[in-house]
Structure 1
Amino acid sequence: MLLKDKVVIVSGVGPGMGQALARIAAAEGARVALGARSKDLIEEVAADIKAKGGQAIAVPTDISSAAACEAMAQATIDAFGTIDGLVNTAYIHGAWLPVDEADPEDYARVFDVNCLGAMRMAQAVIPTFKAKHDGAIINVSTMSTVNPFTGEGGYATGKGGLNVLSRHMANDFGKYGVRVNHTRMGWIGGKPVYDYIDRAVAAGGDRDQITAEITGRIPLGIIPPEDDCAKAVLFFLSDYARVVTGAVLDVNGGQYMAP
Protein backbone atom coordinates (compact mmCIF):
# COMPACT_ATOMS: atom_id res chain seq x y z
CA MET A 1 0.00 0.00 0.00
CA LEU A 2 1.28 3.43 -0.98
CA LEU A 3 0.97 5.03 2.48
CA LYS A 4 1.25 2.00 4.76
CA ASP A 5 1.76 2.96 8.43
CA LYS A 6 1.98 6.70 7.71
CA VAL A 7 0.05 9.23 9.78
CA VAL A 8 -1.52 11.91 7.61
CA ILE A 9 -3.43 15.09 8.40
CA VAL A 10 -5.87 16.31 5.75
CA SER A 11 -7.08 19.84 6.37
CA GLY A 12 -10.23 21.06 4.68
CA VAL A 13 -12.11 17.78 4.36
CA GLY A 14 -15.21 18.90 2.50
CA PRO A 15 -17.68 17.26 0.12
CA GLY A 16 -15.24 17.59 -2.77
CA MET A 17 -11.72 16.26 -3.14
CA GLY A 18 -10.93 16.66 0.58
CA GLN A 19 -13.04 13.68 1.58
CA ALA A 20 -11.63 11.66 -1.32
CA LEU A 21 -8.09 12.44 -0.13
CA ALA A 22 -8.93 11.17 3.34
CA ARG A 23 -10.69 8.02 2.17
CA ILE A 24 -8.00 7.06 -0.34
CA ALA A 25 -5.15 7.80 2.10
CA ALA A 26 -6.80 5.43 4.57
CA ALA A 27 -7.35 2.79 1.89
CA GLU A 28 -3.64 3.07 1.07
CA GLY A 29 -2.72 2.22 4.65
CA ALA A 30 -2.47 5.62 6.36
CA ARG A 31 -3.92 6.56 9.71
CA VAL A 32 -5.77 9.77 8.95
CA ALA A 33 -6.68 12.88 10.93
CA LEU A 34 -9.48 14.85 9.27
CA GLY A 35 -9.79 18.56 9.90
CA ALA A 36 -12.46 21.04 8.79
CA ARG A 37 -14.97 23.47 10.23
CA SER A 38 -17.83 21.10 9.39
CA LYS A 39 -17.92 18.72 12.37
CA ASP A 40 -20.74 16.53 11.05
CA LEU A 41 -19.08 15.88 7.69
CA ILE A 42 -15.65 14.95 9.02
CA GLU A 43 -17.20 12.68 11.63
CA GLU A 44 -19.22 10.98 8.90
CA VAL A 45 -16.13 10.44 6.72
CA ALA A 46 -14.08 9.21 9.70
CA ALA A 47 -16.84 6.77 10.66
CA ASP A 48 -16.95 5.44 7.10
CA ILE A 49 -13.17 4.95 7.07
CA LYS A 50 -13.33 3.04 10.36
CA ALA A 51 -16.24 0.93 9.12
CA LYS A 52 -14.00 -0.17 6.25
CA GLY A 53 -11.24 -1.21 8.65
CA GLY A 54 -9.18 1.99 8.58
CA GLN A 55 -8.07 4.31 11.35
CA ALA A 56 -9.24 7.91 11.46
CA ILE A 57 -10.06 10.76 13.81
CA ALA A 58 -12.14 13.86 13.17
CA VAL A 59 -10.95 17.14 14.66
CA PRO A 60 -13.04 20.27 13.99
CA THR A 61 -10.47 22.86 12.92
CA ASP A 62 -10.59 26.48 11.77
CA ILE A 63 -7.27 27.09 10.03
CA SER A 64 -7.65 30.83 10.46
CA SER A 65 -6.66 30.16 14.09
CA ALA A 66 -3.08 29.16 14.95
CA ALA A 67 -4.32 27.68 18.23
CA ALA A 68 -6.81 25.48 16.37
CA CYS A 69 -4.07 24.26 14.02
CA GLU A 70 -1.83 23.44 16.97
CA ALA A 71 -4.70 21.58 18.62
CA MET A 72 -5.21 19.59 15.41
CA ALA A 73 -1.55 18.55 15.38
CA GLN A 74 -1.64 17.61 19.06
CA ALA A 75 -4.84 15.57 18.67
CA THR A 76 -3.15 13.63 15.86
CA ILE A 77 -0.10 12.89 18.01
CA ASP A 78 -2.32 11.89 20.94
CA ALA A 79 -4.24 9.47 18.71
CA PHE A 80 -1.46 8.03 16.54
CA GLY A 81 1.85 8.94 18.19
CA THR A 82 3.36 10.95 15.36
CA ILE A 83 2.70 12.85 12.10
CA ASP A 84 4.25 11.91 8.76
CA GLY A 85 2.36 14.03 6.26
CA LEU A 86 0.12 17.08 5.91
CA VAL A 87 -2.21 17.82 3.01
CA ASN A 88 -3.37 21.44 2.98
CA THR A 89 -6.56 21.41 0.93
CA ALA A 90 -8.72 23.82 2.94
CA TYR A 91 -9.93 26.91 1.09
CA ILE A 92 -12.65 29.49 0.69
CA HIS A 93 -13.53 30.92 -2.69
CA GLY A 94 -14.73 34.43 -1.97
CA ALA A 95 -17.03 36.50 -4.15
CA TRP A 96 -17.33 35.69 -7.86
CA LEU A 97 -16.49 39.16 -9.17
CA PRO A 98 -14.09 40.66 -11.69
CA VAL A 99 -11.17 42.48 -10.08
CA ASP A 100 -12.55 45.96 -10.80
CA GLU A 101 -15.65 45.14 -8.74
CA ALA A 102 -13.97 43.13 -5.99
CA ASP A 103 -13.71 44.11 -2.33
CA PRO A 104 -10.10 44.09 -1.08
CA GLU A 105 -11.36 42.93 2.31
CA ASP A 106 -12.86 39.84 0.66
CA TYR A 107 -9.47 39.16 -0.97
CA ALA A 108 -7.82 39.52 2.45
CA ARG A 109 -10.18 36.97 4.03
CA VAL A 110 -9.56 34.51 1.20
CA PHE A 111 -5.79 35.01 1.42
CA ASP A 112 -5.92 34.42 5.17
CA VAL A 113 -7.44 30.97 4.66
CA ASN A 114 -6.01 29.84 1.33
CA CYS A 115 -2.41 30.86 1.99
CA LEU A 116 -1.86 31.72 5.64
CA GLY A 117 -4.04 28.81 6.80
CA ALA A 118 -1.60 26.43 5.14
CA MET A 119 1.26 28.29 6.80
CA ARG A 120 -0.37 27.90 10.23
CA MET A 121 -0.90 24.19 9.70
CA ALA A 122 2.70 23.75 8.52
CA GLN A 123 4.00 25.58 11.57
CA ALA A 124 1.85 23.34 13.77
CA VAL A 125 3.37 20.12 12.43
CA ILE A 126 6.96 21.24 11.84
CA PRO A 127 8.15 20.57 15.43
CA THR A 128 7.22 16.89 14.98
CA PHE A 129 8.89 16.79 11.57
CA LYS A 130 12.04 18.43 12.95
CA ALA A 131 12.27 15.91 15.78
CA LYS A 132 12.14 12.94 13.41
CA HIS A 133 13.99 14.68 10.53
CA ASP A 134 11.30 13.57 8.14
CA GLY A 135 7.91 14.67 6.82
CA ALA A 136 5.97 15.76 3.76
CA ILE A 137 3.65 18.68 3.11
CA ILE A 138 1.40 18.96 0.07
CA ASN A 139 -0.31 22.27 -0.67
CA VAL A 140 -3.30 21.98 -2.99
CA SER A 141 -3.57 24.94 -5.35
CA THR A 142 -5.43 25.74 -8.56
CA MET A 143 -4.83 26.05 -12.27
CA SER A 144 -6.48 29.48 -12.15
CA THR A 145 -3.29 30.88 -10.60
CA VAL A 146 -1.68 30.56 -14.03
CA ASN A 147 -4.73 30.31 -16.34
CA PRO A 148 -7.14 33.03 -15.16
CA PHE A 149 -10.92 32.69 -15.02
CA THR A 150 -13.13 35.76 -14.52
CA GLY A 151 -14.48 35.86 -10.99
CA GLU A 152 -11.68 33.82 -9.45
CA GLY A 153 -9.32 36.70 -8.70
CA GLY A 154 -9.54 36.46 -4.93
CA TYR A 155 -9.42 32.67 -4.81
CA ALA A 156 -6.51 32.53 -7.24
CA THR A 157 -4.62 35.33 -5.49
CA GLY A 158 -4.74 33.40 -2.23
CA LYS A 159 -3.68 30.20 -3.95
CA GLY A 160 -1.02 32.08 -5.92
CA GLY A 161 0.45 33.16 -2.61
CA LEU A 162 0.34 29.52 -1.58
CA ASN A 163 2.33 28.55 -4.69
CA VAL A 164 5.12 30.94 -3.71
CA LEU A 165 4.91 29.97 -0.05
CA SER A 166 5.29 26.30 -1.02
CA ARG A 167 8.68 26.97 -2.58
CA HIS A 168 9.85 28.96 0.42
CA MET A 169 8.66 26.17 2.72
CA ALA A 170 10.62 23.68 0.61
CA ASN A 171 13.72 25.84 0.88
CA ASP A 172 13.40 26.53 4.61
CA PHE A 173 12.25 23.07 5.71
CA GLY A 174 14.65 21.02 3.60
CA LYS A 175 17.37 21.10 6.25
CA TYR A 176 14.95 19.29 8.56
CA GLY A 177 14.39 16.48 6.06
CA VAL A 178 10.94 17.86 5.20
CA ARG A 179 9.63 17.84 1.62
CA VAL A 180 7.10 20.43 0.42
CA ASN A 181 5.35 20.28 -2.95
CA HIS A 182 2.16 21.68 -4.43
CA THR A 183 -0.40 20.69 -7.02
CA ARG A 184 -2.42 22.95 -9.33
CA MET A 185 -5.83 21.42 -9.83
CA GLY A 186 -8.15 22.01 -12.77
CA TRP A 187 -11.73 20.78 -13.09
CA ILE A 188 -12.33 18.00 -10.57
CA GLY A 189 -15.14 15.53 -11.24
CA GLY A 190 -16.78 15.55 -7.83
CA LYS A 191 -19.77 17.01 -6.00
CA PRO A 192 -18.89 20.74 -6.29
CA VAL A 193 -18.45 20.55 -10.07
CA TYR A 194 -21.49 18.36 -10.65
CA ASP A 195 -23.56 20.63 -8.40
CA TYR A 196 -22.42 23.54 -10.59
CA ILE A 197 -23.55 21.68 -13.71
CA ASP A 198 -26.88 20.82 -12.05
CA ARG A 199 -27.48 24.50 -11.25
CA ALA A 200 -26.69 25.47 -14.84
CA VAL A 201 -29.15 22.85 -16.08
CA ALA A 202 -31.80 24.07 -13.63
CA ALA A 203 -31.31 27.57 -15.05
CA GLY A 204 -32.13 26.28 -18.52
CA GLY A 205 -28.81 24.93 -19.79
CA ASP A 206 -28.31 21.69 -21.66
CA ARG A 207 -26.29 19.18 -19.63
CA ASP A 208 -24.51 17.62 -22.57
CA GLN A 209 -23.63 21.01 -24.02
CA ILE A 210 -22.32 22.31 -20.70
CA THR A 211 -20.23 19.20 -20.15
CA ALA A 212 -18.93 19.30 -23.72
CA GLU A 213 -17.90 22.94 -23.29
CA ILE A 214 -15.80 21.93 -20.26
CA THR A 215 -14.28 18.79 -21.72
CA GLY A 216 -13.66 20.47 -25.06
CA ARG A 217 -10.84 22.45 -23.40
CA ILE A 218 -9.28 19.36 -21.82
CA PRO A 219 -7.02 17.24 -24.07
CA LEU A 220 -7.98 14.01 -22.29
CA GLY A 221 -11.60 14.82 -23.13
CA ILE A 222 -12.96 14.13 -19.64
CA ILE A 223 -13.60 15.99 -16.40
CA PRO A 224 -10.77 14.44 -14.34
CA PRO A 225 -12.39 12.09 -11.78
CA GLU A 226 -12.12 13.18 -8.18
CA ASP A 227 -10.43 9.97 -6.99
CA ASP A 228 -7.79 10.13 -9.71
CA CYS A 229 -7.04 13.75 -8.81
CA ALA A 230 -6.69 12.79 -5.15
CA LYS A 231 -4.27 9.98 -6.00
CA ALA A 232 -2.03 12.43 -7.87
CA VAL A 233 -1.89 14.61 -4.75
CA LEU A 234 -1.20 11.70 -2.40
CA PHE A 235 1.73 10.50 -4.51
CA PHE A 236 3.81 13.29 -2.96
CA LEU A 237 3.27 11.80 0.52
CA SER A 238 4.64 8.44 -0.57
CA ASP A 239 8.18 7.14 -0.45
CA TYR A 240 8.22 7.26 -4.25
CA ALA A 241 8.65 11.03 -3.88
CA ARG A 242 11.31 11.00 -1.14
CA VAL A 243 13.72 13.19 -3.12
CA VAL A 244 11.08 15.47 -4.65
CA THR A 245 10.64 18.88 -3.05
CA GLY A 246 9.80 22.36 -4.29
CA ALA A 247 7.92 20.83 -7.23
CA VAL A 248 4.54 21.62 -8.76
CA LEU A 249 2.29 19.10 -10.49
CA ASP A 250 -0.49 20.24 -12.82
CA VAL A 251 -3.49 17.94 -12.37
CA ASN A 252 -5.99 19.04 -15.00
CA GLY A 253 -6.19 16.52 -17.83
CA GLY A 254 -3.86 18.69 -19.90
CA GLN A 255 -6.03 21.82 -19.96
CA TYR A 256 -3.08 23.91 -18.85
CA MET A 257 0.44 22.83 -19.75
CA ALA A 258 3.19 24.77 -17.99
CA PRO A 259 6.11 25.92 -20.15
Structure 2
Amino acid sequence: MLLKDKVVIVSGVGPGMGQALARIAAAEGAKVALGARNEDFINTVAEEIRSGGGEAVAVSTDIGNAGQCAALAKATVDAFGRIDGLVNTAYIHGAWVTVDEADPEDWAKVFDINCLGALRMTQAVLPAMKAQGGGAVVNVATMSQVNPFPGEGGYATGKGALATMTKHMAKDFGRFNIRVNATRMGWIGGKPVYDYIHGQVANGADREAVVNEITGRIPLGIIPPEEECAKSVLFFLSDYAKVVTGATLDVNGGQYMAP
Protein backbone atom coordinates (compact mmCIF):
# COMPACT_ATOMS: atom_id res chain seq x y z
CA MET A 1 0.00 0.00 0.00
CA LEU A 2 1.40 3.34 -1.09
CA LEU A 3 0.66 5.22 2.16
CA LYS A 4 0.51 2.41 4.71
CA ASP A 5 0.47 3.73 8.31
CA LYS A 6 0.94 7.36 7.24
CA VAL A 7 -1.24 10.16 8.59
CA VAL A 8 -2.42 12.53 5.88
CA ILE A 9 -4.37 15.79 5.97
CA VAL A 10 -6.32 16.82 2.87
CA SER A 11 -7.59 20.40 2.83
CA GLY A 12 -10.40 21.42 0.52
CA VAL A 13 -12.25 18.10 0.49
CA GLY A 14 -15.08 18.94 -1.89
CA PRO A 15 -17.05 17.03 -4.52
CA GLY A 16 -14.19 17.24 -7.00
CA MET A 17 -10.69 15.79 -6.61
CA GLY A 18 -10.57 16.58 -2.88
CA GLN A 19 -12.86 13.72 -1.92
CA ALA A 20 -11.01 11.39 -4.29
CA LEU A 21 -7.72 12.30 -2.61
CA ALA A 22 -9.15 11.47 0.82
CA ARG A 23 -10.75 8.18 -0.26
CA ILE A 24 -7.72 6.94 -2.19
CA ALA A 25 -5.30 7.94 0.58
CA ALA A 26 -7.38 5.84 2.99
CA ALA A 27 -7.53 2.94 0.52
CA GLU A 28 -3.74 3.13 0.25
CA GLY A 29 -3.39 2.64 4.01
CA ALA A 30 -3.33 6.20 5.36
CA LYS A 31 -5.20 7.58 8.34
CA VAL A 32 -6.88 10.65 6.93
CA ALA A 33 -7.94 14.04 8.30
CA LEU A 34 -10.38 15.94 6.11
CA GLY A 35 -10.71 19.72 6.17
CA ALA A 36 -13.18 21.95 4.31
CA ARG A 37 -15.85 24.53 5.02
CA ASN A 38 -18.72 22.17 4.14
CA GLU A 39 -18.96 20.23 7.41
CA ASP A 40 -21.80 17.97 6.28
CA PHE A 41 -19.92 16.89 3.17
CA ILE A 42 -16.64 16.05 4.89
CA ASN A 43 -18.47 14.22 7.67
CA THR A 44 -20.17 12.09 5.02
CA VAL A 45 -16.88 11.29 3.28
CA ALA A 46 -15.18 10.50 6.61
CA GLU A 47 -18.01 8.18 7.60
CA GLU A 48 -17.79 6.37 4.26
CA ILE A 49 -14.06 5.88 4.79
CA ARG A 50 -14.66 4.50 8.28
CA SER A 51 -17.46 2.25 7.01
CA GLY A 52 -14.97 0.80 4.55
CA GLY A 53 -12.55 -0.08 7.32
CA GLY A 54 -10.38 3.04 7.19
CA GLU A 55 -9.63 5.68 9.81
CA ALA A 56 -10.70 9.29 9.29
CA VAL A 57 -11.57 12.47 11.13
CA ALA A 58 -13.27 15.55 9.71
CA VAL A 59 -12.88 19.12 10.92
CA SER A 60 -14.72 22.12 9.48
CA THR A 61 -11.88 24.35 8.27
CA ASP A 62 -11.61 27.68 6.48
CA ILE A 63 -7.97 27.99 5.39
CA GLY A 64 -8.45 31.75 5.34
CA ASN A 65 -8.31 31.51 9.14
CA ALA A 66 -4.99 30.52 10.77
CA GLY A 67 -6.75 29.44 13.96
CA GLN A 68 -8.92 26.97 12.07
CA CYS A 69 -5.87 25.57 10.26
CA ALA A 70 -4.20 25.05 13.64
CA ALA A 71 -7.35 23.34 14.93
CA LEU A 72 -7.30 20.86 12.03
CA ALA A 73 -3.64 20.07 12.68
CA LYS A 74 -4.31 19.61 16.42
CA ALA A 75 -7.31 17.37 15.81
CA THR A 76 -5.16 15.21 13.54
CA VAL A 77 -2.41 14.82 16.12
CA ASP A 78 -4.96 14.18 18.87
CA ALA A 79 -6.58 11.43 16.78
CA PHE A 80 -3.55 9.80 15.20
CA GLY A 81 -0.44 11.00 17.05
CA ARG A 82 1.43 12.52 14.10
CA ILE A 83 1.16 14.20 10.66
CA ASP A 84 3.13 12.65 7.80
CA GLY A 85 1.57 14.39 4.83
CA LEU A 86 -0.46 17.43 3.83
CA VAL A 87 -2.23 18.03 0.53
CA ASN A 88 -3.12 21.69 -0.01
CA THR A 89 -5.96 21.39 -2.51
CA ALA A 90 -8.43 23.97 -1.14
CA TYR A 91 -9.11 26.86 -3.52
CA ILE A 92 -11.57 29.43 -4.75
CA HIS A 93 -11.81 30.38 -8.40
CA GLY A 94 -12.97 33.97 -8.33
CA ALA A 95 -14.80 35.76 -11.12
CA TRP A 96 -14.66 34.33 -14.65
CA VAL A 97 -13.54 37.53 -16.36
CA THR A 98 -10.66 38.55 -18.59
CA VAL A 99 -7.78 40.41 -16.96
CA ASP A 100 -8.78 43.77 -18.45
CA GLU A 101 -12.08 43.53 -16.55
CA ALA A 102 -10.67 42.02 -13.36
CA ASP A 103 -11.43 43.43 -9.93
CA PRO A 104 -8.20 43.62 -7.88
CA GLU A 105 -10.21 42.99 -4.71
CA ASP A 106 -11.52 39.73 -6.16
CA TRP A 107 -7.96 38.72 -7.04
CA ALA A 108 -6.86 39.55 -3.50
CA LYS A 109 -9.45 37.13 -2.09
CA VAL A 110 -8.37 34.42 -4.52
CA PHE A 111 -4.70 34.96 -3.64
CA ASP A 112 -5.52 34.82 0.07
CA ILE A 113 -7.02 31.35 -0.25
CA ASN A 114 -5.09 29.80 -3.13
CA CYS A 115 -1.64 30.84 -1.91
CA LEU A 116 -1.76 32.21 1.62
CA GLY A 117 -4.27 29.58 2.71
CA ALA A 118 -1.77 26.90 1.77
CA LEU A 119 0.89 28.81 3.71
CA ARG A 120 -1.34 28.94 6.81
CA MET A 121 -2.14 25.25 6.58
CA THR A 122 1.49 24.27 6.06
CA GLN A 123 2.65 26.41 8.98
CA ALA A 124 -0.01 24.69 11.11
CA VAL A 125 1.44 21.22 10.46
CA LEU A 126 5.09 22.27 10.75
CA PRO A 127 5.45 21.78 14.54
CA ALA A 128 4.27 18.17 14.32
CA MET A 129 6.43 17.38 11.29
CA LYS A 130 9.52 19.00 12.82
CA ALA A 131 9.01 17.16 16.11
CA GLN A 132 8.77 13.76 14.41
CA GLY A 133 11.69 14.41 12.07
CA GLY A 134 10.05 14.94 8.71
CA GLY A 135 7.01 14.97 6.48
CA ALA A 136 5.75 15.84 3.01
CA VAL A 137 3.55 18.58 1.56
CA VAL A 138 1.92 18.74 -1.87
CA ASN A 139 0.55 22.00 -3.24
CA VAL A 140 -2.07 21.50 -5.94
CA ALA A 141 -1.72 24.12 -8.68
CA THR A 142 -3.09 24.51 -12.20
CA MET A 143 -2.03 24.24 -15.82
CA SER A 144 -3.60 27.68 -16.35
CA GLN A 145 -0.45 29.18 -14.81
CA VAL A 146 1.49 28.28 -17.94
CA ASN A 147 -1.27 27.57 -20.47
CA PRO A 148 -3.70 30.51 -20.05
CA PHE A 149 -7.44 29.83 -20.25
CA PRO A 150 -9.85 32.78 -20.73
CA GLY A 151 -11.35 33.99 -17.46
CA GLU A 152 -8.83 32.29 -15.19
CA GLY A 153 -6.35 35.12 -14.72
CA GLY A 154 -6.98 35.60 -11.01
CA TYR A 155 -7.20 31.90 -10.22
CA ALA A 156 -4.06 31.09 -12.20
CA THR A 157 -2.12 33.99 -10.70
CA GLY A 158 -2.91 32.79 -7.18
CA LYS A 159 -1.90 29.25 -8.10
CA GLY A 160 1.21 30.56 -9.84
CA ALA A 161 2.23 32.22 -6.60
CA LEU A 162 1.57 28.89 -4.86
CA ALA A 163 3.92 27.15 -7.28
CA THR A 164 6.65 29.72 -6.61
CA MET A 165 6.10 29.41 -2.86
CA THR A 166 6.51 25.63 -3.22
CA LYS A 167 10.14 26.05 -4.20
CA HIS A 168 10.83 28.39 -1.31
CA MET A 169 9.12 26.00 1.10
CA ALA A 170 11.23 23.14 -0.26
CA LYS A 171 14.40 25.17 0.27
CA ASP A 172 13.48 26.38 3.75
CA PHE A 173 11.96 23.16 5.09
CA GLY A 174 14.61 20.79 3.74
CA ARG A 175 16.67 21.12 6.91
CA PHE A 176 13.73 19.62 8.81
CA ASN A 177 13.50 16.68 6.37
CA ILE A 178 10.19 18.07 5.11
CA ARG A 179 9.65 17.71 1.37
CA VAL A 180 7.42 20.12 -0.57
CA ASN A 181 6.30 19.54 -4.16
CA ALA A 182 3.56 20.77 -6.49
CA THR A 183 1.27 19.35 -9.14
CA ARG A 184 -0.10 21.32 -12.09
CA MET A 185 -3.54 19.96 -12.87
CA GLY A 186 -5.35 20.24 -16.18
CA TRP A 187 -8.89 19.07 -16.93
CA ILE A 188 -9.99 16.69 -14.19
CA GLY A 189 -12.76 14.22 -14.94
CA GLY A 190 -14.94 14.79 -11.90
CA LYS A 191 -18.07 16.65 -10.82
CA PRO A 192 -16.90 20.24 -11.53
CA VAL A 193 -15.84 19.45 -15.10
CA TYR A 194 -18.87 17.28 -15.78
CA ASP A 195 -21.10 20.05 -14.43
CA TYR A 196 -19.41 22.42 -16.91
CA ILE A 197 -20.12 20.00 -19.75
CA HIS A 198 -23.74 19.57 -18.64
CA GLY A 199 -24.07 23.37 -18.52
CA GLN A 200 -22.79 23.71 -22.08
CA VAL A 201 -25.26 21.07 -23.24
CA ALA A 202 -28.11 22.78 -21.37
CA ASN A 203 -27.25 25.94 -23.31
CA GLY A 204 -27.67 24.11 -26.61
CA ALA A 205 -24.23 22.66 -27.30
CA ASP A 206 -23.75 19.12 -28.56
CA ARG A 207 -22.27 16.95 -25.78
CA GLU A 208 -19.94 15.03 -28.07
CA ALA A 209 -18.67 18.25 -29.59
CA VAL A 210 -17.96 19.77 -26.16
CA VAL A 211 -16.08 16.68 -25.00
CA ASN A 212 -14.17 16.39 -28.27
CA GLU A 213 -13.13 20.04 -28.07
CA ILE A 214 -11.56 19.30 -24.69
CA THR A 215 -9.98 15.95 -25.49
CA GLY A 216 -8.76 17.17 -28.88
CA ARG A 217 -6.14 19.22 -27.04
CA ILE A 218 -5.01 16.32 -24.83
CA PRO A 219 -2.52 13.84 -26.35
CA LEU A 220 -3.94 10.91 -24.37
CA GLY A 221 -7.34 11.73 -25.88
CA ILE A 222 -9.28 11.57 -22.61
CA ILE A 223 -10.38 13.87 -19.81
CA PRO A 224 -8.05 12.59 -17.07
CA PRO A 225 -10.21 10.79 -14.45
CA GLU A 226 -10.06 12.41 -11.02
CA GLU A 227 -9.02 9.12 -9.40
CA GLU A 228 -5.93 8.90 -11.61
CA CYS A 229 -5.13 12.57 -11.03
CA ALA A 230 -5.40 12.05 -7.27
CA LYS A 231 -2.97 9.13 -7.39
CA SER A 232 -0.37 11.34 -9.05
CA VAL A 233 -0.76 13.90 -6.26
CA LEU A 234 -0.52 11.27 -3.52
CA PHE A 235 2.66 9.83 -5.03
CA PHE A 236 4.56 12.81 -3.61
CA LEU A 237 3.50 11.80 -0.07
CA SER A 238 4.82 8.28 -0.52
CA ASP A 239 8.24 6.87 0.22
CA TYR A 240 8.78 6.50 -3.53
CA ALA A 241 9.38 10.27 -3.56
CA LYS A 242 11.67 10.37 -0.52
CA VAL A 243 14.38 12.39 -2.26
CA VAL A 244 12.09 14.55 -4.41
CA THR A 245 11.47 18.11 -3.26
CA GLY A 246 10.86 21.42 -5.00
CA ALA A 247 9.49 19.60 -8.06
CA THR A 248 6.40 20.36 -10.14
CA LEU A 249 4.57 17.52 -11.89
CA ASP A 250 2.24 18.20 -14.83
CA VAL A 251 -0.90 16.07 -14.44
CA ASN A 252 -2.94 16.83 -17.55
CA GLY A 253 -2.79 13.96 -20.03
CA GLY A 254 -0.02 15.75 -21.91
CA GLN A 255 -1.95 18.92 -22.78
CA TYR A 256 0.90 21.01 -21.41
CA MET A 257 4.45 19.69 -21.37
CA ALA A 258 6.96 21.70 -19.40
CA PRO A 259 10.21 22.47 -21.25
Give the alignment's TM-score, normalised by structure 1.
1.00
Could you tell me how far 1:90 is from its partner in structure 2? Answer: 0.1
Letter of the 1:210 partner, please give it.
V
Residue of structure 2 equivalent to 1:181: 181
Partner Cα separation in structure 2 for residue 24 and residue 18 of structure 1: 10
CA shift for structure 1 position 132: 1.4
Measure, in 2, the Cα distance between the counterparts of 1:99 and 1:2. Answer: 41
- Identity, % of aligned pairs? 74
Residue number in structure 2 paired with 1:102:
102
Structure 2 counterpart of 1:26, which letter? A
**Which aligned runs of 4 or more in structure 1 are off by greater than 3 angstroms?**
none
Residue 37 of structure 2 is aligned to residue 37 of structure 1: yes
CA deviation after TM superposition for structure 1 residue 223, in Å:
0.2
Partner of 1:170 in structure 2?
170
Q: Is the 8 A contact 2:218 2:253 kept in 1?
A: yes
5 Å-filtered alignment, 1:18-97, equals: 18-97=18-97
For 2:68 and 2:49, locate their aligned partners in 1 and report how far apart those are by CA, in whole Å.
23
Structure 2: which 5+ residue stretches go unaligned?
Answer: none
Q: How does 1:111-122 map to 2 (within 5 A)?
A: 111-122=111-122
Is 2:82–2:132's contact at 8 Å kept on the other side of the alignment?
Answer: no
Q: Number of aligned pairs?
A: 259
Cα distance in 2 between the residues matched to 1:204 and 1:47? 39
RMSD between aligned residues: 0.4
SS in 2 for 1:237: coil
> Matches of 2:202 and 2:107 in 1, distance apart?
30
Partner of 1:199: 199
Answering whether residue 225 of structure 2 is matched by residue 215 of structure 1, we say no
Aligned-pair distance for 1:210?
0.3
Secondary structure in 1 aligned to 2:236? helix
Q: Is 1:150 equivalent to 2:166 in the alignment?
A: no
How far residue 145 of structure 1 moved from its aligned partner, in angstroms, is: 0.4
Instruction: Write the mapping of 1:2-17 to structure 2, written as runs, cut at 5 A.
Output: 2-17=2-17
Q: What one-letter code is carried by the residue in structure 1 that aligns with 2:142?
A: T
In the TM superposition, what is the alpha-carbon distance from 1:129 to its structure 2 partner? Answer: 1.0
